[in-house]
Structure 1
Amino acid sequence: MPLDLTLPTPLAYFSALVQQDESLPLLEAAASLAQDETPDLDVQQVLDQVDRLIARLRRRMTPDADPVERLRAVNQLFFSDLGFAGNVNDYYNPDNSYLDVVLHTRRGIPISLAVLWLELAQSVGLQVEGVGFPGHFLVQAQIEDGRVVIDPFSGQSLGRPELRERLEQFHLDPELAQSDATLSKFLRPTPPRQILARMLRNLQDIHRTQQDWARLVLVQDRLVTLLPAAWPEYRERGLALAELGDVERARADLSVYVREAVEAADHDAMAERLSALGGSGG
């Protein structure tokens, strides 16, 4: 039997990466998101760029460096020497979510910067996690009996006062915001699958706002692959497909949503939309 040497589609490649939570390679899966914009992107080249940064970081460190020294070295390289920072001038540019571009420009949004920072920190043995904090994504390192929380957008280390102030900014009751239990709740680690979902939903928001339905469908394909029981993602894809005139696929997605999301507030409205497209559900 002849070998099949055809390359997988970007979606098939992504699907293979995200099959199992235990072995999900966050950096590789996150880098692959850019293949929707640049189908011939060589993800391995992106991983090689990060490996070179890791080698540069390790050369700065003695084998017996303690966690505080290792964290300081990561931050010095990432934020100071390489100059990674938030793209304050063009925050809603989709390129801020594509790791190949972020590595080139050294500008991104909190979650794309976090993915790169996490890879560097993990490579030198630090216990680090991403945190889906209200407002924007943070990272944290477990150091001895405590933790250091860092804003990857600015490189700022955030203590309890700054974190509580951020919670209050997002309309959390001031008394609740001052609670250690509340703060601990919002500092729970975000697993890789949810980090990818958050990256994709950032792109979703941008493409929906710009009414770029074709790009939105590509994002929704990934979200449905990543979270096959997240019924609102089928609705989003179905509505985008309807805008593109792909009625058959739109009906299929809206049928799934109407059938599965029976308690949703917009269930009846989506059932009507489905009917208008010539479909039925229930």
Structure 2
Amino acid sequence: MRQEALDLLRRIGGAEDNAIDLAGAALSLALLDHPVPDLAPYRAHLAQMCADLAAIVDAGEADDLAGRIAAIRRVLVDLHGYAGDSETYEDLQNANLIRVIDRKRGLPVALGILMIHLARSQGWEICGLSFPGHFLIRMDLDGQRLILDPFEGGSICEPHTLRELLKQTAGLEAELSPEHYAPVSNREVLLRLQNNLKLRHLSTDQPAKALEVVEVMLLFAPDHIGLWRESGLLNAHAGKLTAAIAAFEHFMELARQRGASQALMQQTATLLQQLRSRLN
């Protein structure tokens, strides 16, 4: 099962973004940290939730945007009991879709993936947003757009709610800007999910575990320039000099292609020189 999950993530790394099955990819990521004998029960659960949503749609109860949101909420919250885990928010299980399904509790991004999966099963327009610190989603229909908070069961976020959320996560001086409403790709949603694990490992002084997460992230996001630099830094910290050099070299190649700042390029070149001298 683990090898199958790794192979799937590698295939995602070379796939077009719109071909990525978010929930399926998230289950593969979850399997790496929480091995189970078979993912079939979890896939069946996702399929059942989609069938529940289809039944509501067939009954004519999701004709407008408000009705679609209510239908998703009915399936996720009322029928299946999902909720944001406000009591043990920092628990790593909240970013693992297998454990989220087991416990019916999770982080905003994990619950958001479930909401996106449900909406897309009906062909509805939905996306994650680049809102900092708290994952939000947006649903669109006929020119109407609403921003939803998956952590609160898909509640609609009014402007004052967004301002309060932003100040909680980005500081009291932060103000809303268009970049906070920008849609993110499927790959970026998965990166955000895994970033929760990486940051928690770093905050608990477990750089080796953080490195494992980064290496998995690079499987499905091999062109993410920042991850290659993080890989170099974490490998260097672990004394894995050859791997660190290779990661920094790949970073430099991407950085040249994308016009990264000269200061960052020079800093990385200096790190490379130091690592090569240590290796020799």
TM over 0.5: same fold?
yes
Structure with greater proportional helix content: 2
Partners of 1:265 and 1:80 in 2: CA distance: 53
Which secondary structure does the structure 2 equivalent of 1:253 belong to? helix
Q: Which residue of 1 aligns with 2:248?
A: 254
Which secondary structure does the structure 1 equivalent of 2:261 belong to? coil
What displacement does 1:144 show? 4.1
Asked if the contact 1:31–1:100 (Cα under 8 Å) also holds between the matched residues in 2, the reply is: yes
What displacement does 1:100 show? 0.8
Matches within 5 A, 1:124-203: 124-155=122-153, 156-167=155-166, 170-171=170-171, 177=176, 182-183=177-178, 185-203=179-197
Partners of 1:256 and 1:125 in 2: CA distance: 38
Structure 2 residues without counterparts, runs of 5 or longer: none
What displacement does 1:258 show? 4.6
What displacement does 1:29 show? 1.0
Q: Which residue of 1 aligns with 2:107?
A: 109
Residue type of the partner of 1:42?
D
Partners of 1:45 and 1:247 in 2: CA distance: 42
Q: Does 1:14 align with 2:12?
A: no
Asked if the contact 1:34–1:41 (Cα under 8 Å) also holds between the matched residues in 2, the reply is: no
Partners of 1:70 and 1:44 in 2: CA distance: 28
Q: Which residue of 1 aligns with 2:68?
A: 70
Residues 1:40 and 1:100: Cα distance change in structure 2 (over 3 Å): closer
Which secondary structure does the structure 1 equivalent of 2:233 belong to? helix
Residue type of the partner of 1:30?
A
Q: Which residue of 2 aligns with 1:56?
A: 52
Say what the alpha-carbon RMSD is for the aligned residues.
2.9
Residue type of the partner of 2:47?
D
Asked if the contact 2:129–2:182 (Cα under 8 Å) also holds between the matched residues in 1, the reply is: yes
Residues 1:40 and 1:250: Cα distance change in structure 2 (over 3 Å): farther
Residues 1:145 and 1:229: Cα distance change in structure 2 (over 3 Å): closer
Deviation string 1:63-94 (CA, Å, 9 cap, x unpaired) is: 43313333212112312343322222222222
Q: Which residue of 2 aligns with 1:208?
A: 202
Higher relative contact order (CA 8 A, sep 6+): 2
Which secondary structure does the structure 2 equivalent of 1:148 belong to? strand
Asked if the contact 2:2–2:32 (Cα under 8 Å) also holds between the matched residues in 1, the reply is: no
Residues 1:171 and 1:8: Cα distance change in structure 2 (over 3 Å): closer
Residue from 227, 230, 233 that aligns with 2:227: 233
Q: TM-score, normalised by structure 1?
A: 0.81
Q: Which residue of 2 aligns with 1:24?
A: 20
What displacement does 1:39 show? 4.6
Percent identity over the alignment is 27
Q: Which residue of 2 aligns with 1:84?
A: 82
What displacement does 1:220 show? 1.4
What displacement does 1:30 show? 1.5
What displacement does 1:62 show? 3.1
Partners of 1:90 and 1:257 in 2: CA distance: 36
Which secondary structure does the structure 1 equivalent of 2:133 belong to? coil
Residue from 21, 26, 36 that aligns with 2:32: 36
Q: TM-score, normalised by structure 2?
A: 0.82
- Count residues with an aligned counterpart: 269
Residue type of the partner of 1:83?
G
